[in-house]
Amino acid sequence: MSVASTTVSARRLSLAERLRGGAGSVWFPYLLVLPLALILWGYVVQPMLATFVESVSEDGTVNYAQFLSSSGVARTSLITSLGISLASVLLCGVVGVAMAFLLKRFSFRGRGLIEAFILVPAALPPLIGAISFQLLYSEIGILPRWLQQVFGAEKPVLAFDDIAGVLVVHTFTMYPFFYLATSAALAGMDPSIEEAAYNLGAGRIRVWRTVLLPMLTPALVSASLLVFMTSLASYTAPLLFGVDQTMTMQIYINRTNGDLPMASTYASVLGLVSILFLLLMRWYEGRRSYMSQSKGISTQRREISNPIGRVLAPIASVLASVVLLAPVATIALVAFSADGSWTTEVIPSKYTVENFETIFSEPKAFEPILNSLKMSLLATAGCVVVGVLIAYAVRRLKFVGRGLLDVAVMIAWALPGTVVAINLISAFSTGTAFSFGQALIGTFWILPLAYFVRFLPLVFRASSASLALVDPSLEEAARNLGASWGRAFVTITVRLMLPGVIVGALLAFVHGVGEFVASVLIYTSSTVPISVAINNRMYSFEIGTAAAYGMLQVVLIFVVMWFSGRLERGGRRAEQWTN
Amino acid sequence: MKRRLALIALGAMVTAGLAACGGSGDPAPAGSGTQAQKFVIYSARDKKVTDYVVEQFTAKYPEYKGKVEVLNMGAQEVLERTRAEKSNPQGSVWWGGTQQGLTAGANEGLLEAWQPAFAGQMDARYRDAQGRWFGEILLPEVIMYNNKLVPADQAPKDWDDLIDPKWKDKVIIRDVPASGTMRSIYASMIQRFSADGSNPQPGYDWLRKLDANTVEYAANPTDLYVKMARGQGVLSAWNLQDILLQAEGQAKMPFGYVMPASGAPILVDGVAMIKGGNTTGAKLFLEFLFDGTLRASLAKDYFQIPAIPIQQQPEWLSKLNLKPMNVNWDVVGKNETAWINHWNANIKNKG
């Protein structure tokens, strides 16, 4: 990926030099930003504006007025959605940051176990993953049914329902945003600052408040944004747990009703709220600087000395691993259970490998998997090149409209996938300058484009949070020693922000492989993604085969995670070696 | 070093991916002599049905071999996709849609009007007057029950039995506003008490009692089947074809059905030709879809009730005793949105 960005930046650099002044001139930021701004305008902002235009097309701002009346569904939905999103940020933050600290800072028995499974939730395929939650924790779930049997209760015990259910699903699936961001920040953090604080006599709480949390701010801001916006645009969880007064459910219901302007109004308000939250976070983060001059060295892990902690740690690790693995185990259970053998029983009564045989016996069984891999990889490559450059521009360069660039990247993340797909179809159903005069719908390219537009924010935010911790003077030193802008950018800046870039790329790739809501509107027969293949099975209620497909997807994502883990570890080793 | 290798590997994969899609993106060279042009079908039907029908179609018209592409998706997604692609239609056939969805598509100018040969045999209720869409199958909406937990003789006999307090917390309903099927059932329950739709109140009262008996609203059909099978609730209102498919098919679900004594609302599920698509292929395919032998085998294997009666009925169909409820779909069509919005805001989870 840095290979690709070298060529891009080198080309841009020679252009810059031709215009005299090189990378130091006041024009340089604009030269770098212009192509980025064009990409964002053409592929993200301009298509998404269609939603806003539609919302005011028929009767002006009348639809918006509904959000002001106290009795209507509109305001209740907005408040419910906001509440769910804020609670999700809080819960994911607590779980994610605690996990990151525990695993990166302490050494205890069982640590390896949790660390191996900590990212399992990120690998959960969206459609079948939602079903596995139902089968685990809802009123028909294994756990409540089992507790019912144990206690001889009349009704299933501890069944999650309603908003509590939504929050459980959100926390479980989105805490990796916090975990990954915090881990990346911890990896890039200089332990000597913390040690200095302790040596100067600060207590543990004070060190947390005045050193660690401020150092983590960029990571926390980035994760909060992603979690907030994801929860706001989340559709499956409220759907499954029957919370229908949320913004996304109202969008769907209004589209079914045929009231397109109202659906667009909901989507626009959704986008607006997300952007306001983004601006608030930018303001909060911008109040101080978080740079550290030294290179990141991973700290030595501390042994847990407390005897109670020593006993509890392994037990807690096993428990946490069980919780983390439960949804995947449920999918496996379904994949290996005979159809119809699981109705009122706690767990299935008959097992079989038939579901896997069904998949493998189909001649085109692996095509959806290959398609998803290919399209997601392409989109991720694009996200990395554009996302890293935008992160650099927004953090480092001085130019007018930095905030706008930030908003432009995030806007697609703030809208539900269906809306993004519909906007892209409308924008690229005929040839435009941005599609080189070709109609993109009905071709291969619209899918990677949609994944790029939807998941660019992941790479951008992760890179940006990582870059916030890197002092620009390191790059300046390289420039003063005679390196070109391109060389300094690639060998110093990109390398130092690499943990964040890898995290972002991994998230983008995994999301791309699982993407369904947008894909189903734009796929063609030669680009069937794995999620559509799973959905076709679910639609005909072949849950067993769908789960078998889901297992393949989980395994695939694990392989990619392992691969990227090696990539990152290799990178750190090389870094230490060159330093 | 390792990292560099990994990066090179990644680069190679991307390049390989690009090369591969370049290859698949090329249009197939036009075969000499054959006139058949490729066409795309958007279908809300089960993939097994679409695979089977396309196989039969290309067996009869070999020139279309490899030229019929079926994209399976939900009924609402077919409408969304067709609508979004209006300026450059990619699909030619819309296969599987509710009367409401097809009417919406027709009114937005997405569908091509034509007069196929089979139109004359079809009851006027089951097709668009201007020939923009045609009913393919009839979906009677009946009472569904879990026959493992409720003996057949104790199952409700009519719609009004569903609101009996003895079934409190025993009913599961596929959530109404997002489901075309459920909207139609609920609207017919209201129209049952008010022929011209002017007074929905008795219908609302009835639905409030049903809500009191409803333990949960299921998110989608899969969710409904899972919850019914696992006994969170034991009764529902659902379409006959899906009940039979789940019970008799591979899934072996413990589902039975009751034909309500006062009749079943009958929904039409139809097909249409998308404006701006490949009309030659679409017409040929749609005519083929109404072929008698094909419809007979679909009726036998997939429990479809054809909109145009067939000669030899399979056993299940001849024994069905189908009793249609007298629903005025014009009245329903006019009021459905208002009624369902009222239900969603004031009745759901409040009974």
pLDDT digits (tens, 9 = 90+) for B41-60: 999 888 888 989 999 999 99
DSSP string for A307-324: HHHHHHHHHHHHHHHHHH
Position A11 confidence tier, pLDDT thresholds 50, 70, 90: low
Q: Do domains B39-138+267-313 and B140-265+323-347 have the same CATH topology?
A: yes
Q: Is B81 on the interface with A (CB under 8 A)?
A: yes
Instruction: Round to whole Å and give the CA distance between A132 and A124.
Output: 10
User: A33 vs chain B: nearest CA distance in angstroms?
Assistant: 25
Q: Which of residues 221-240 of B touch A (CB under 8 A)?
A: 221-223, 225-227, 229-232
Check A539 against B46: CB less than 8 A apart. yes
Check B80 against A521: CB less than 8 A apart. yes
What tokens appear for A186 in the block?
Answer: 């911890």
**Amino acid at residue number A9:** S
Whether complex ipTM tops 0.85: no
pLDDT at residue A91, as a whole number: 94
Position A19 confidence tier, pLDDT thresholds 50, 70, 90: very low
Tens-digit pLDDT profile for residues A275-297: 888 888 888 887 777 766 555 55
CA distances, A212 to each of A176, A193, A371, A430, A501 (Å): 19, 9, 43, 52, 22
Q: What kind of fold does domain B140-265+323-347 have according to CATH?
A: D-Maltodextrin-Binding Protein; domain 2 (3.40.190)
Task: Count CB-CB contacts under 10 A for residue A201.
Answer: 7
Share of chain A above pLDDT 90, in %: 8
Nearest by CB to residue B252, choosing from A339, A373, A381, is A339
Nearest-Cα residue of chain B relative to residue A237: B219
pLDDT at residue B157, as a whole number: 92
Check A253 against B10: CB less than 8 A apart. no
Tens-digit pLDDT profile for residues B180-197: 889 889 999 999 998 888
With a cut of 70, say whether residue B17 has pLDDT above it.
Answer: no
**Which residues of chain B are within 8 Å of residue A429 when distances are taken between CB atoms?**
84-88
Check A140 against B70: CB less than 8 A apart. no
Q: Which of residues 242-281 of B touch A (CB under 8 A)?
A: 245-246, 250-254
Position A6 confidence tier, pLDDT thresholds 50, 70, 90: very low
pTM of the model: 0.81
With a cut of 70, say whether residue A173 has pLDDT above it.
Answer: yes
Higher pLDDT, B274 or A495: B274
Q: Is B180 on the interface with A (CB under 8 A)?
A: yes
A58 lies in a domain?
Answer: no
Instruction: Round to whole Å and give the CA distance between A25 and A485.
Output: 12
With a cut of 50, say whether residue B133 has pLDDT above it.
Answer: yes
Mean predicted confidence (pLDDT) in B76-86: 87
Tens-digit pLDDT profile for residues A299-357: 567 776 777 777 787 888 888 888 888 888 888 888 888 766 666 666 777 778 888 88
CB burial of residue B153 (10 Å; 0-12, 13-18, 19+): exposed
pLDDT at residue A443, as a whole number: 80
**Three-class DSSP category at B191:** helix
With a cut of 90, say whether residue B120 has pLDDT above it.
Answer: no
Nearest-Cα residue of chain A relative to residue B77: A521
What is the CATH architecture of B39-138+267-313? 3-Layer(aba) Sandwich (3.40)
**Which residues of chain B are within 8 Å of residue A444 when distances are taken between CB atoms?**
21, 24-25
Q: Is A261 on the interface with B (CB under 8 A)?
A: no
* Cβ(B116)–Cβ(B215) below 8 Å: no
Check B231 against A343: CB less than 8 A apart. yes
Q: How many CA atoms within 13 Å lie on the side-chain side of B108?
A: 19
**Three-class DSSP category at A477:** helix
Tens-digit pLDDT profile for residues A432-443: 777 777 777 778
A68 lies in a domain?
Answer: no
What tokens appear for A443 in the block?
Answer: 């071709």
Considering chain A, what is the average pLDDT of its residues? 80
To probe the interface with B, which of A246, A428, A539 has the most B CB atoms within 10 Å?
A539
Q: Which of A8-17, A263-272, B68-77, B131-140 has the lowest mean pLDDT?
A: A8-17
Position A195 confidence tier, pLDDT thresholds 50, 70, 90: confident
Instruction: Round to whole Å and give the CA distance between A232 and A253.
Output: 16
Position A5 confidence tier, pLDDT thresholds 50, 70, 90: very low
The number of folded domains in chain A is: 1
Q: Which of residues 201-220 of B touch A (CB under 8 A)?
A: 216-217, 219-220
Share of chain B above pLDDT 70, in %: 90
Higher pLDDT, A292 or A555: A555
Higher pLDDT, B29 or B51: B51
| Residue span of the structural domain in which A422 resides | 2-51+73-578
Instruction: Round to whole Å and give the CA distance between B192 and B188.
Output: 6
Long-range contacts of B20-25 (CB under 8 A, 24+ apart): B20/A374, B21/A374, B21/A444, B24/A444, B24/A526, B25/A443, B25/A444
In chain B, where the domains are located: 39-138+267-313, 140-265+323-347
A65 lies in a domain?
Answer: no
Nearest-Cα residue of chain A relative to residue B174: A242
Higher pLDDT, A25 or A183: A183
A366 lies in a domain?
Answer: yes
Instruction: Round to whole Å and give the CA distance between A340 and A349.
Output: 9
DSSP string for B52-86: HHHHHHHHH-GGGTT-EEEEE--HHHHHHHHHHTT
How far out from the chain centre does Cα A14 lie? 35
In 3D space, the residue among B289, B325, B342 whose CA is nearest the CA of residue B60 turns out to be B289
Check A442 against B90: CB less than 8 A apart. yes
A312 lies in a domain?
Answer: yes
In 3D space, the residue among A174, A176, A181 whose CA is nearest the CA of residue A85 turns out to be A174
A112 lies in a domain?
Answer: yes
**Which residues of chain A are within 8 Å of residue B47 when distances are taken between CB atoms?**
536, 539-540
Hunting for tokens 């209507």 — which residue is that? Answer: A72
Q: Is A430 on the interface with B (CB under 8 A)?
A: yes
Tens-digit pLDDT profile for residues A240-266: 777 878 888 888 888 877 778 888 888
Position B218 confidence tier, pLDDT thresholds 50, 70, 90: confident
Find the CATH number of the domain harbouring A249: 1.10.3720.10
In 3D space, the residue among A40, A84, A125, A93 whose CA is nearest the CA of residue A413 turns out to be A40
Check B216 against A523: CB less than 8 A apart. no
A489 lies in a domain?
Answer: yes
Share of chain B above pLDDT 90, in %: 39
Q: Is A541 on the interface with B (CB under 8 A)?
A: yes
pLDDT at residue B6, as a whole number: 53
Check A567 against B7: CB less than 8 A apart. yes
**Which residues of chain A are within 8 Å of residue B340 when distances are taken between CB atoms?**
257
Q: Is B200 on the interface with A (CB under 8 A)?
A: no
Q: Which of A140-149, B123-132, B133-142, B315-324 has the lowest mean pLDDT?
A: A140-149
In 3D space, the residue among A406, A403, A401, A404 whose CA is nearest the CA of residue A387 turns out to be A406
